[in-house]
A = this chain, B = another copy of it.
Amino acid sequence: MPDLRIMVQKYGGTSVGSAERIKAVAERIKTYVKNGFSVVVVVSAMGKTTDELVSLASQITAQPSSREMDMLLSTGEQVSIALLAMALHEIGIDAISYTGSQIKVLTDGNFTRAKIESISTDRIMKSLRENKVVIVAGFQGIDNEENITTLGRGGSDTSAVALAAVLRTRDCEIYTDVNGVYTADPRIIGQPIKLSQVSYDEMLELARLGAAVLHSRSVEFAKKHNIRLHVRSSFNYEEGTIVMPKEEMMEKYVISGVTAKRDEAKITIRDIPDRPGIAARVFGLLGENKIYVNMIVQSTGKDNKASVSFTVLKSDLDRAVKLCEGLKKELGASAVEAKQNIAIVSAVGVGMLSSYGVAGKIFQVLSEQNINIEMISTSEIGISCVIDDVYAELAQKVIHRAFIDMEQQ
């Protein structure tokens, strides 16, 4: 028997949001089958199903057990896989659906944010060799006691990438409701550029900094297993964006994206007598309390006193401030200040390293608009600025325009 040409595809919630949409997805899969592919399909829950289930739970308790939450949420994908299998049968394509449990998607026991440890390919390969399309419930797995687990945000993407990895395919299509990865949010920037290619690291930065197309875990997984992710729309047949190794990229942009993140708040601890171990003490304590810290800036001022500013999720702000207040005396700090209404505006791109003056250009266009930069943080492939959130849209526009200009020079 010749080797199978396996294609792993993932369809998101909007792509399977109604009976009509599910039928359209079935037709798309059929074209791959007719072209000789053995197709493995990962699907998300239909449209707003997950939100509705979360809402049901919230009507019962404010603090649902995470095990039961996973038991609840995993039903959404199970509905989708059954309906997609039916839709394929209806157009004459043999297909079979599997839950995470049935193909042994083994995860650790961290409910609501489990990590995949292994997937058995036996049953999938058997079905593929029987010329069946294999439909797998994304987002879910089981722990070693057969409790149902879910993978957290972006989980179905991760399921798809993990399947591509264990099935040893190089490509994985991620179908969504946008045409690919853009250099900016089209709702803010009228005509952003669609990237034909983007590197894993850029995509990770974009995801971390607020671009919602892919979740960072699936990108990390793809990078680790060297799988090309083709992000594209299930609503048309246009080519999308391929997330791939930097080395293989044919096209490189100075920037691959401008993003804004508005779910974080800033805390500043002022005038700490500078001595070793301050940062370790502050961020150790926050870490112990499971508070995720994003940007950190420490500056040393006069009298050898330091101020440290950092951003946390707005939902963690109250807890974080309370913890810092508790440290104030120990540190000898003069004040703990919090600011809610900030935005983190970022520019990301592998091309930035080789292009002179990118940071300077960003500061310049912001200052031309009289936008005050409250914090700056740079990584190898990105620059982030904390600004007042009333300027978030304006800042993205002027940065994006500046870089579009640079590309076209």
Q: CB within 8 Å of B: which residues of A?
A: 19, 22-23, 53, 56-57, 59-61, 64-65, 67-69, 71-72, 74-75, 78-79, 81-83, 85-87, 89-90, 96-97, 99, 101-102, 146-148
Q: Is the CB of B72 within 8 A of A57?
A: no
- Other-chain residue from B67, B85, B101 in contact with A68 (beta carbon distance below 8 A): B85
What residues on B are CB-neighbors of A22 within 8 Å? 60
Closest Cβ neighbor of A85 among chain B residues = B68
Most B-side CB within 10 Å, residue of A56, A61, A86, A87: A86
Query: Given that A99-B148, A146-B102 are contacting pairs, would A60 and B86 also be in contact in the complex, using a CB cutoff of 8 Å?
Result: yes
| Contact, CB under 8 Å: B71 / A101 | no
Point out the residues of chain B lying under 8 angstroms from A56, CB to CB: 19, 79, 83
28 contacts between A and B (CB under 8 A): A19-B60, A23-B60, A56-B79, A56-B83, A57-B86, A60-B83, A60-B86, A60-B87, A61-B89, A61-B90, A65-B86, A68-B83, A68-B85, A68-B89, A69-B86, A71-B81, A71-B99, A72-B79, A72-B82, A72-B83, A72-B86, A75-B78, A75-B79, A78-B78, A99-B148, A101-B101, A102-B146, A102-B147
Q: Which of B71, B85, B146, B147 contacts A78 (CB 8 A)?
A: B71
The 3 closest A-B pairs by CB, nearest first: A19-B59, A72-B82, A75-B75
Extra pairs beyond A71-B97, A72-B83 (6, CB < 8 Å):
A19-B59, A53-B79, A65-B89, A68-B82, A72-B86, A75-B79
Question: Chain B residues with Cβ under 8 A from A89's Cβ?
Answer: 61, 64-65, 68
A85 close to B65 (CB less than 8 A)? yes
Let me know if A60 and B101 touch, CB within 8 A.
no
Contact of A57 among B71, B83, B97 (CB under 8 A): B83
B residues near A147, Cβ cutoff 8 Å: 102
- Cα A147 to Cα B96 in complex, Å, equals 10
| Closest Cβ–Cβ distance, residue A70 to chain B (whole Å) | 8
A90 CB contact (under 8 Å) in B23, B60, B72 = B60
Contacting residues, chain B, for A97 (C-beta < 8 A): 68, 71
